[in-house]
Amino acid sequence: MLTDVRLWLLIILSVAMLFTIEAIEEFVEGSWPQLKRPYDFWGLFGELRNLWIAVAMFVLPGLVLIILNLAILLIRDLPHSNVQVLGTIFVVVGWLVFLMTAANLAGIGSYLRTVGFAVPLALVLILGIGDLLLVISLVDIFPDDIRSFLPFEDDNGV
């Protein structure tokens, strides 16, 4: 079991989830330096900030769904599906763009100041599709009986 790549991926994603929660909490409580000034064309700072908060709120369930899908695949020793892979790609791409924007890596946050509403709207769409695909795959692999999901047996053999 320790040689299974899915186990290590689950551990890495769980640790990354902790750092993502911290980054989102920091964003919601304080303002990003690159979003302090209003934009030339739109001039509405509050609406853009609300869009980035919406992106953050789509990132969190997406990461939780990836972790849940991966945990069920690992426990039940099931193969992954194309829907899970595609949903994971959408969520990870949105998550990485959000984190690069939050950290202003390589000036991405400054660049997005000139782009305006297009990037957060596109990220909300991408993350929404990824979340939906992961929910569909979770419903597909989730066991009908919770007892069959547990990795151990009861004393009665059930």
pLDDT category at 15 given cuts 50, 70, 90 is very high
Range of the domain at 120: 5-144
Q: How many domains does the chain have?
A: 1
pLDDT for position 145? 73
152 domain residue, yes or no: no
Mean pLDDT for 27-31 is 65
115 domain residue, yes or no: yes
155: pLDDT strictly greater than 70: no
pLDDT for position 45? 53
151 domain residue, yes or no: no
Check residue 77 and give left, alpha or beta (phi > 0: left; psi -120 to 50: alpha).
left
126 domain residue, yes or no: yes
123 domain residue, yes or no: yes
Cα distances (Å, whole numbers) of residue 118 to 25, 48, 113, 123? 23, 10, 11, 9
Mean pLDDT for 11-36 is 75
156 domain residue, yes or no: no
